[in-house]
């Protein structure tokens, strides 16, 4: 990352997005940070003023195409170019597929997938014209390590990764880099703010097991600052990788999942009784779950 680089970071009000904004600004860059509310914008302005950072909050709802267009009109009125886009904004929708209303499925897709494409499409023309730029999409191990009751979130991230892979193939010849960062568990508000749909009787045990798997990995979760440091380092790389895994749980889970056939993974979750399921899970993924 060059000094005084210009970046856009989405979902900057908290968690990884906020940490990313502060990290890039502290390294001498100018950051346009998208947030949802005036209160969030004021909080970032206060930090920027106190620490002498170049942070420009931009209030926008990424699910509103017209609002995104207006937000980038505002950004282009203040700068001619953007070096980096860190597409981080996201929501978590939890529940068995049968239990999640289609409206919430659409919301997850709108924020996690369509919103990311809207911002990418906004910066690509100027990056392509300059012959350089870097788009980083914050994804999740969940795109490839799918758990029951997490299908809606996983689907939105898998869609994002497929689209970004196509984008990388399209813009690489124009000097624009694209990277996906697959996170493990991070200590953020995404799960506290999540929409979770209660289990119907058929899925009570499924919900309980999925929760146990997630809780078992919480000692490995990263702090947002650690993630921001990893992404900032990625932005300094002259030939950045397309896919980066961040977090010890993600590295382990993705490796173990890749070693299984799809049929083996489905059969593992089809085990009815808790004790044999718990043993099989530990043998397969290398950590114990408390059922």
Catalytic residue numbers, as ranges:
153
The answer to whether the CB of 55 falls within 8 A of the CB of 49 is: no
207, two tokens: 């919900």
Alpha-carbon distance values, 80 to 66, 76, 124, 145 (Å): 21, 6, 13, 40
d(CA 29, CA 38): 23
Q: Are 135 and 87 in contact (CB under 8 A)?
A: yes
Contact 55, 47 (CB under 8 A): yes
**DSSP H helical segments within 131-176, as ranges?**
151-171
| CA–CA distances in Å: residue 115 to residues 99, 107, 160 | 24, 10, 10
CA-wise closest residue to 5 among 35, 27, 21, 20: 27
């Amino acid at each position: 990352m060059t000094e005084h680089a210009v970046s856009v970071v989405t979902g900057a009000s908290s968690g990884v997005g906020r940490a990313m904004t502060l990290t890039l600004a502290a390294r001498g860059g100018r950051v346009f940070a998208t947030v949802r509310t005036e209160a969030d914008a004021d909080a970032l302005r206060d930090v920027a003023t106190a620490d002498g950072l170049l942070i420009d909050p931009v209030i926008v709802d990424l699910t509103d195409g017209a609002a995104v267009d207006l937000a980038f009109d505002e950004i282009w009125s203040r700068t001619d170019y953007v070096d980096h886009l860190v597409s981080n904004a996201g929501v978590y929708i939890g529940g068995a597929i049968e239990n999640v209303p289609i409206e919430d499925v659409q919301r997850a897709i709108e924020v996690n997938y369509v919103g990311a494409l809207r911002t990418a499409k906004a910066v690509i023309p100027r990056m392509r014209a300059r012959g350089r730029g870097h788009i980083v999409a914050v994804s999740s191990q969940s795109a490839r390590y799918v758990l029951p009751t997490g299908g809606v979130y996983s689907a939105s991230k898998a869609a994002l990764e497929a689209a970004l892979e196509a984008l990388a193939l399209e813009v690489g010849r124009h000097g624009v880099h694209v990277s996906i960062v697959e996170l493990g568990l991070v200590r953020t508000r995404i799960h506290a703010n999540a929409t979770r749909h209660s289990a119907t009787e058929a899925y009570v045990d499924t919900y309980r097991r999925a929760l146990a798997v997630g809780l078992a990995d919480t000692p490995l979760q990263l702090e947002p600052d650690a993630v921001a440091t990893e992404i900032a380092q990625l932005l300094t790389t002259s030939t950045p990788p397309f896919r980066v895994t961040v977090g010890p749980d993600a590295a382990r889970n993705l490796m173990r999942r890749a070693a299984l056939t799809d049929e083996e993974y489905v059969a593992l979750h089809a085990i009815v009784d808790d004790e044999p399921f718990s043993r099989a899970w530990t043998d397969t993924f290398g950590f114990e779950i408390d059922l």
